[in-house]
Amino acid sequence: MEGTAAAVCEILKYLIIHWKCETAEVSKGALLEGQLVISIEALNSKHQANTLHCVTTIASAGSIYGGLVLKKFLKEIQSILHGFSAKLNWTSEEASYSQDTSGVTPFQMIFEVDEKPKTLMTDCLIIKNFLHKIIIVLPKIRFNFSVKVNGIFSMEIFEAENEPTLNLSNGIALVVNYQHYVSAPKFGTTELLCSRIHPVLGHPVVLFIPDDVAGMGLLGELILTPAAALCPCPKVFSNQLNRISSISIFLYGPLGLPLILPSQEQPTAAIFKDTSYFIDWKKYHLCVVPNLDLNLDGDLVLPDVSYQVESSEGDQSQNMDPQGQTLLLFLFVDFHSRFPVQQMELWGVQTLLTTHLSAIFMESHSAVQDSIQITVGQVLEHHHQAVKAHQKLQASLSVAVNSIMSIMTGSTSSSFRKICLQTLQATDTQEFRTKLHKSFHETTQHRFLHHCSCEVKQQLLPERDDAEQSTEDAHENSSLELLAGTSGQVGNKRLKGSSLHQGVEETRAFRSAGALSPSEAARRRAEATVSPLTPSRSRTGPGSGLEDALWLQEVSNLSEWLSPGPRP
Amino acid sequence: MAFAPSGPEASFFEVLDQHRASLLATLRRGGGEPAGGGTRLASSSEVLASIENIIQDVITSLARNEAPAFTIDNRSSWENIKFEDSVGLHMISHCTTRKIKSDSPKSVKNFALILKILSTIYKLVQSNTYATKRDIYYTDSQLFGNQTVVDNIINDISCMLKVPRRSLHILSTSKGLIAGNLRYIEEDGTKVNCTCATAVPVSSNIQGIRNLITDAKFLLIVEKDATFQRLLDDNFCNKMSPCIMVTGKGVPDLNTRLLVKKLWDTFHIPVFSLVDADPHGIEIMCIYKYGSMAMSFEAHNLTVPAIRWLGLLPSDIKRLNIPKSTLIPMTKRDQMKLDSILKRPYVTCQPFWRKEMEIMGDSKMKAEIQALTFLSSDYLSRVYLPNKLKFGGWI
């Protein structure tokens, strides 16, 4: 990985760790909240042809970096980045920060590097992905990332504050809006009715550090907690989603910091090259191969490890729709100690994990494998149940449609046939059949939307009469989904024609959808809480200690499809 | 009279004749047979139109983006059933219902199966062909799962459309037998004479039977086939001629009940039941007399409240000194069934029946009709039944 991206990512990691340690006493377990601004200004170098002189500024908007000892910071950062070939020129420490009259000390640091344009472009994509990875677990941090190349300016804002999240332990939360992980346009709006993923948390396991990498004197334990989910929600009843087509693995260290940066040499994730090292995919009849084709330039958060599921022979006859569902696997490695964790300790753990993750995982292979396998198994079992329930529904609807068609087409009453056609606005029996099937499908989907635990409104509003709620939710859920789909969209709104390429026409900057009023934002925020399973955990925020009861209820609802109902 | 004279002298039937006169008088006082409620014979076009209306409702719901649902009367709920002395158990007019929804995981399959069977009925009625419930099950046994599902849906449809099953062109398989002084012509023109030595199977098209002719003084309903066959072997029909015997071989099928009802409606001859002295036998007798919960929606076509309990009465056991070794201890299930029957609304107007059931409950013993063979092998046909019939030993 090149200089600018590496520098920015490591600096941000350091700052977040420092920030967390500074605020640990004040708000244990609370999500980090604040704003960081990263800007890169690049101009043609006066000394080298085809080279851009890039000035990168990292600044904070508040006083979150009070207490940062700059000398120590620079020394530690340089020790991390010394291996990179790019030359980094640091500004003097006197110019690094300034004080305003309010007494608040905003943080700002600047460094310069010369890079090829293509390198800068790659760096920018890497930084974007890194920021995106951070906000999906630290949703209250907002990043303003702007790039100005020879006067052409572009900016993106990365934030996920108003999005539904799943609280995890130790002050991180997982954003459960599916749009971060799967492209929206591939699913028609009529079919995708649940905008969330429903992570299943696995049992945390202690990770043992191999002897040859130990010696840090850690006064605590490394705990791995896996979380898995299918994306999009398996309750979406579409033929496209009956199969799992890809697997994305995300690796996070303490405080929700990504362990792997894109394009980085991957010794960290080397063990994942063996697709079956931690998960026996054959149990689920999945043929999994590594997917090396990861597109850095995308709106989705890029996984650290990606697998592709190859179709079995039985699927050959079916339409080979590549869409399918994606199995998301999040591996959170956290550090727990009975003693207050010092910043350097955390930084050391982060470094240890980024450099020796494979070895650490291998040391605890059996436990890690069990935990991941069980977690994935649960999710896939849910998927399997959802598929069976869907098939059962489809079979029933098919019987209903065929029966109605049999009566309608067999009737000798022209008035009856005419009324049937007119009611569904069909011109012939073929069209009538199509509309009949579609109508049944839509009314059934509507019911499952009502039952979906994803709806924020069901969680926030006080209890109502069931009949009343069912009527209201029928209207409001759909509008809520529309609302989620438009205004609350993921913070990385790409500018139109964002110019990371040289010579691109003028662009404009805009802010992401901050148009939500506070009450609206509060209304739409939903934080399903999960019982933190780690042994020594801090408070996880509102409703801590509860399982994702709504998701579990939905799973039990799924089982209704599979159990015989009462006789008529 | 077309039948050859046989059987006892005319004086033997005095009490029976008086009983018949009493029944006829009761009928006259009550204004004749109660008007048929609940279900009625419907023409084919009416049935087709009813089904088309249901389909239209379904499609209209869909057009409004509402999940269609069927509203079905709760046939299996006591709160929807009332007792009338003249009819027996029948459904109340405004009964509770349940919805079979198309958008509920638990009921969507049932919803689809109802449509499936409606389409089958539609075709049967259109083509003027008939099928049994078993035939319908086998059209797609994998889809239906089991026969009970089909049976229940057919009953629900019959209740929903308020037409008897026959109007849906669905026949129930007959298992009953009939013997004795009776002749009739089936719908297809077949002439049936029940006086032959072996019994005649109950027709599967009771409503199509015409030209019923009998001189029978009584109709004896026999619970078990074994007892029926024994009476046949003992030539009971000739010895007690003129009479008719019928058995449903346990819990009676619909056609056997329809036949008993038809014979009562046509001839108004005394109807007696011969059942085991156990709760199961009493329940079977109650089905003939008062109807069942499941078919309460069709009670007016099926029940014969005039039925009298001839035997085996629990009080007969002691009266006849039937050996205790022939008696069987009641099981817990027997006791529960007996308690359930005692709580039913019709028992309150049958104080003698209640008394007999209390005798059974107190003794905690039950007896089969075959217990009488311990007195003598032909005691049933030679002594027990003739005495009962001659001296009015029924309740």
The CATH number linked to B283 is 3.40.1360.10
- What is residue B81's predicted lDDT score, i.e. its pLDDT? 66
Q: Is A492 exposed, middle or buried (0-12, 13-18, 19+ CB in 10 A)?
A: buried
Nearest to A304 by CA among A270, A254, A269: A269
B284 and B314 housed in the same domain: yes
In a domain, B25, yes or no: no
Contact residues, chain A to chain B, C-beta under 8 Å: 389, 392-393, 396-397, 399-400, 402-404, 406-408, 410-413, 416, 419-420, 423-425, 436, 439-440, 442-444, 446-447, 557, 560-561, 565-568
Chain A residues with beta carbon closer than 8 angstroms to that of B48 = 411, 413
- What phi and psi, each to the nearest 5 degrees, are found at residue B179? -150, 155
Residue of B nearest to A418 (CA): B56
Q: Which domain holds residue B155?
A: 44-171
The DSSP line for A90-155 is EPPGGGTB---TTS---BEEEEEEEE-HHHHHHHHHHHHHHHHHHHTTSTTEEEEEEEEETTEEEE
Taking CB atoms and an 8 Å limit, are A404 and B59 in contact across chains? yes
B193 and B85 housed in the same domain: no
B138 and B232 housed in the same domain: no
Taking CB atoms and an 8 Å limit, are A446 and B55 in contact across chains? no
Q: B101: distance to nearest CA of chain A, Å?
A: 10
In a domain, B6, yes or no: no
Residue of B nearest to A433 (CA): B59
Q: A335: distance to nearest CA of chain B, Å?
A: 44
Taking CB atoms and an 8 Å limit, are A439 and B48 in contact across chains? no
Question: Do strands A305-310 and B177-180 pair parallel, antiparallel, or not at all (unpaired)?
Answer: unpaired
Say whether residue B104 is in contact with chain A using an 8 A CB cutoff.
yes
B249 and B352 housed in the same domain: yes
- CATH at B104: 1.10.10.10
Please state at what angle helix A365-410 crosses helix A343-363, rounded to 10 degrees.
80
Say whether residue B160 is in contact with chain A using an 8 A CB cutoff.
no
Better-predicted residue by pLDDT, A113 or B220 = B220
Q: How confident is the model at residue A250 (pLDDT cuts 50, 70, 90)?
A: very high
Q: How confident is the model at residue B199 (pLDDT cuts 50, 70, 90)?
A: very high
In this predicted complex, what is the ipTM? 0.73
B191 and B260 housed in the same domain: yes
Taking CB atoms and an 8 Å limit, are B52 and A444 in contact across chains? no
Provide CB contacts within 8 A for A102, sequence distance 6+: none
When pLDDT is averaged across residues A356-367 and rounded to a whole number, the result is 89
Tens of pLDDT, residues B237-277: 999 999 999 999 999 998 999 999 999 999 999 999 999 99
- What phi and psi, each to the nearest 5 degrees, are found at residue B109? -65, -45
Say whether residue B294 is in contact with chain A using an 8 A CB cutoff.
no
Chain B residues with beta carbon closer than 8 angstroms to that of A408 = 55
Which of A392, A410, A420 comes nearest B56 by C-beta? A420
Taking CB atoms and an 8 Å limit, are B105 and A420 in contact across chains? no
Query: What average pLDDT is seen over chain B?
Result: 88
B97 and B193 housed in the same domain: no
Tens of pLDDT, residues A105-163: 567 788 888 889 998 999 999 999 999 999 999 999 999 999 999 999 999 999 998 89
Q: A440: distance to nearest CA of chain B, Å?
A: 7
Least confident stretch, A469-473, B116-120, B325-329: A469-473
User: Which of B44, B48, B52 is the best substitution to test chain A (most A C-beta atoms within 10 A)?
Assistant: B52
Which of B105, B116, B126 comes nearest A561 by C-beta? B105
Taking CB atoms and an 8 Å limit, are A404 and B72 in contact across chains? no
Looking at beta carbons, which pairs linking A262-265 to residues 24 or more positions away fall under 8 Å?
A: A262/A1, A262/A125, A262/A126, A262/A129, A262/A130, A262/A294, A262/A296, A262/A302, A263/A1, A263/A122, A263/A126, A263/A296, A264/A1
The encoded tokens of residue A516 equal: 């939500």
Q: How confident is the model at residue A82 (pLDDT cuts 50, 70, 90)?
A: low
Do residues B101 and B107 touch, judged by C-beta distance below 8 A? yes
Report the distance separating Cα B9 and Cα A329, nearest Å.
95
B229 and B198 housed in the same domain: yes
B160 and B291 housed in the same domain: no
In a domain, B205, yes or no: yes
Query: What average pLDDT is seen over chain A?
Result: 72
B222 and B84 housed in the same domain: no
- Structural domains counted in chain B: 2
Q: Which residues pair with A175 in a beta bridge?
A: A165
Tens of pLDDT, residues B7-28: 888 888 999 999 999 998 988 8
- What phi and psi, each to the nearest 5 degrees, are found at residue B84? -130, 135
Taking CB atoms and an 8 Å limit, are A406 and B123 in contact across chains? yes
Taking CB atoms and an 8 Å limit, are B55 and A407 in contact across chains? yes
Taking CB atoms and an 8 Å limit, are A404 and B153 in contact across chains? no
Residue where a domain stops, chosen among B113, B147, B171: B171
Q: A560: distance to nearest CA of chain B, Å?
A: 6
Catalytic-residue membership of B346: no
Taking CB atoms and an 8 Å limit, are B105 and A408 in contact across chains? no
B145 and B186 housed in the same domain: no
Taking CB atoms and an 8 Å limit, are B119 and A439 in contact across chains? no
Taking CB atoms and an 8 Å limit, are B58 and A404 in contact across chains? yes
Say whether residue B111 is in contact with chain A using an 8 A CB cutoff.
yes
In a domain, B33, yes or no: no
Residue of B nearest to A398 (CA): B112
Q: B119: distance to nearest CA of chain A, Å?
A: 5
Nearest to A392 by CA among A563, A244, A551: A563
Residue where a domain stops, chosen among B136, B171, B206: B171
**Contacts across the A-B interface (CB distance below 8 Å):** 117
Chain B residues with beta carbon closer than 8 angstroms to that of A420 = 55-56, 59
SS (HEC) of B181-234: CCEEECCCCCEEECCCCCCEECCCCHHHCEEEECCCCCEEEECCHHHHHHHHHC
Report the distance separating Cα B211 and Cα B191, nearest Å.
9
Better-predicted residue by pLDDT, A250 or A285 = A250
Which of B66, B68, B122 comes nearest A407 by C-beta? B122
As a whole-number percent, the residues of chain B with pLDDT over 90 amount to 67
Which of B49, B55, B62 comes nearest A408 by C-beta? B55
Q: Which of B138, B288, B379, B384 is catalytic?
A: B138
B163 and B185 housed in the same domain: no
Chain B residues with beta carbon closer than 8 angstroms to that of A407 = 51-52, 55, 118-119, 122
Tens of pLDDT, residues A454-480: 543 333 333 333 334 334 333 333 333
Which runs of consecutive H residues, i.e. helices, occur in B30-67? 44-63
Q: A535: distance to nearest CA of chain B, Å?
A: 39
Taking CB atoms and an 8 Å limit, are A392 and B112 in contact across chains? no
Nearest to A244 by CA among A176, A180, A162, A307: A307
- What is residue A264's predicted lDDT score, i.e. its pLDDT? 58
Taking CB atoms and an 8 Å limit, are A440 and B63 in contact across chains? no
B233 and B353 housed in the same domain: yes
- What phi and psi, each to the nearest 5 degrees, are found at residue A260? -130, 140
In a domain, B325, yes or no: yes
Chain B residues with beta carbon closer than 8 angstroms to that of A419 = 56
Residue of A nearest to B76 (CA): A568
- What is residue B280's predicted lDDT score, i.e. its pLDDT? 95
When pLDDT is averaged across residues B38-62 and rounded to a whole number, the result is 88
In a domain, B209, yes or no: yes
Question: Taking phi first (over 0 means left), then psi (-120 to 50 degrees means alpha), and beta for anything else, what does residue A209 get?
Answer: beta
- What is residue A489's predicted lDDT score, i.e. its pLDDT? 38
Say whether residue B126 is in contact with chain A using an 8 A CB cutoff.
yes
Taking CB atoms and an 8 Å limit, are A393 and B156 in contact across chains? no
Tens of pLDDT, residues B122-150: 999 999 998 989 999 999 999 999 999 99
Nearest to A408 by CA among B151, B187, B393, B126: B126
Question: Do strands A205-207 and A325-336 pair parallel, antiparallel, or not at all (unpaired)?
Answer: unpaired
Taking CB atoms and an 8 Å limit, are A407 and B67 in contact across chains? no
In a domain, B108, yes or no: yes
Q: How confident is the model at residue A562 (pLDDT cuts 50, 70, 90)?
A: very low
Taking CB atoms and an 8 Å limit, are A403 and B60 in contact across chains? no
The encoded tokens of residue A238 equal: 């579409």
The separation between the first and the last C-alpha atoms of chain A, rounded to the nearest angstrom, is 66
Say whether residue B114 is in contact with chain A using an 8 A CB cutoff.
yes
Say whether residue B127 is in contact with chain A using an 8 A CB cutoff.
no
Tens of pLDDT, residues A150-196: 999 999 999 998 898 888 877 789 999 988 998 864 555 445 567 88
pLDDT of residue A533 exceeding 70, the answer is: no
Say whether residue B102 is in contact with chain A using an 8 A CB cutoff.
yes
pLDDT of residue B78 exceeding 50, the answer is: yes
Q: B45: distance to nearest CA of chain A, Å?
A: 10
Q: How confident is the model at residue A69 (pLDDT cuts 50, 70, 90)?
A: low
User: Which of B102, B117, B140, B168 is the best substitution to test chain A (most A C-beta atoms within 10 A)?
Assistant: B102
Residue where a domain stops, chosen among B171, B202, B219: B171
Say whether residue B72 is in contact with chain A using an 8 A CB cutoff.
yes
In a domain, B159, yes or no: yes
Q: How confident is the model at residue A530 (pLDDT cuts 50, 70, 90)?
A: very low
Report the distance separating Cα B39 and Cα B36, nearest Å.
7
Report the distance separating Cα A296 and Cα A491, nearest Å.
17
- What is residue A196's predicted lDDT score, i.e. its pLDDT? 87
Which of A404, A413, A567 comes nearest B115 by C-beta? A404
